[in-house]
Chains A and B, each alone.
Chain A
Amino acid sequence: MEPSKISIVVVSGSLERLQMAAMVASVGAVSGNDVRVFLSMNALAYFVKGSDAAPPAEGAFGELMAGKKVPGFRSLIENAVELGDAKVYPCSMAMDVMAIESSALPSYFGPPLGLTKFLDDARDTQVFTF
C-alpha cells in the first residue's frame, strides 16, 4: 500500500484537540505516512519553549484524561518528528500576532510557514483539522 500524505491543522488550545492532533501525527508518521503539522492560533502558544501550561479540558473526557498516564501531546508531536520524520511548522501569522520568535520554539520545528505554502503542500493529501 502506498504511504498516504497527511496534513494536520491545529488551531485549538483545548486538551482533547491537542491530544488527538498529536496522536494522529505520531501514529500516522510512525506508520510510514508523510505527515505535516501546521500549528496556529490557540495551539501554538502551548509549544513555546518553557511553557508547560496544561491546556484546559473541553469536556469530561479531557478531565478524565488529565488524571491518567496518557502520553503528553508535546512528547507525541516530538515522537512524530523523531521517530516518524513528521514535519511541524508554526504558522507565520500566529507568530507575528503573538510576537513569537523562531528561537522560542522547539528545535524540531521547521521554519514558519504561511497559509499559501501550506495549502499548496496540502493539495492531494488527507487533511485533518483540530
Chain B
Amino acid sequence: MAEKKVIDARGSFCPGPLMELIGWIKLADIGDELELLSSDKGSAEDVPEWVKKVGHEYLGSREEAGVWHIMVKKTK
C-alpha cells in the first residue's frame, strides 16, 4: 500500500532540500507520495523542475507561513 512521507528540510539552503528529497525517494516504493517542507524559496522553484526532469510526478506546491510544501509521487 502506498505511503506518504513528510520530509522536513526547513532551514536548509539549496541544494539541501533537493538532496534530502532524493535520498528519501531512493528509499520509497513506487506509488509512495512524499511531501517536502522547505523554507528555501529557490528550492521551491528548483525541486519541481527536478521532479519533472527525472520523470516522477509533481503533485503541486503550496506556501504556508514561509514554508513550501512540495508534493511528489514516486513513479519509477
User: Are A83 and B16 in contact, CB atoms less than 8 angstroms apart?
Assistant: no
User: Are A83 and B19 in contact, CB atoms less than 8 angstroms apart?
Assistant: yes
User: Are B19 and A30 in contact, CB atoms less than 8 angstroms apart?
Assistant: yes
Top 6 A-B residue pairs of the complex, sorted by shortest distance between their CB atoms: A71-B16, A70-B13, A69-B11, A79-B19, A83-B22, A27-B15
A84, closest chain B residue (CB)? B22
Chain A interface residues (CB < 8 Å from chain B):
23, 26-27, 30-32, 68-71, 76, 79, 83
User: Are A71 and B53 in contact, CB atoms less than 8 angstroms apart?
Assistant: no
Q: Which residues of chain A have C-beta atoms less than 8 A from B12's C-beta?
A: 69-71
B interface secondary structure, majority: helix
Q: How far is the CA of A69 from the CA of B38 in the complex (A)?
A: 12
Number of chain B residues whose Cβ lies closer than 8 Å to a Cβ of chain A: 15
Name the residue among B13, B19, B46, B50 with the largest chain A CB count within 10 angstroms.
B19
Chain B interface residues (CB < 8 Å from chain A):
11-16, 18-19, 22-23, 26, 46, 50, 53-54
B19, closest chain A residue (CB)? A79
Q: Knowing that A70-B13, A71-B19 are A-B contacts, what are 7 other residue pairs whose CB atoms are under 8 Å apart, sorted by A's residue number?
A: A26-B15, A27-B50, A31-B50, A70-B16, A79-B22, A83-B22, A83-B23
Report the minimal beta-carbon distance from A27 to chain B, rounded to whole angstroms. Answer: 5
User: Are B54 and A32 in contact, CB atoms less than 8 angstroms apart?
Assistant: yes
User: Are B53 and A23 in contact, CB atoms less than 8 angstroms apart?
Assistant: no
Q: Which residues of chain A have C-beta atoms less than 8 A from B23's C-beta?
A: 79, 83
B54, closest chain A residue (CB)? A32
Among candidates A32, A70, A79, A83, residue contacting B53 with C-beta atoms closer than 8 Å: A32
User: Are B13 and A71 in contact, CB atoms less than 8 angstroms apart?
Assistant: yes
Given A69-B11, A83-B22, A83-B26, A31–B16 Cβ distance below 8 Å?
Answer: no
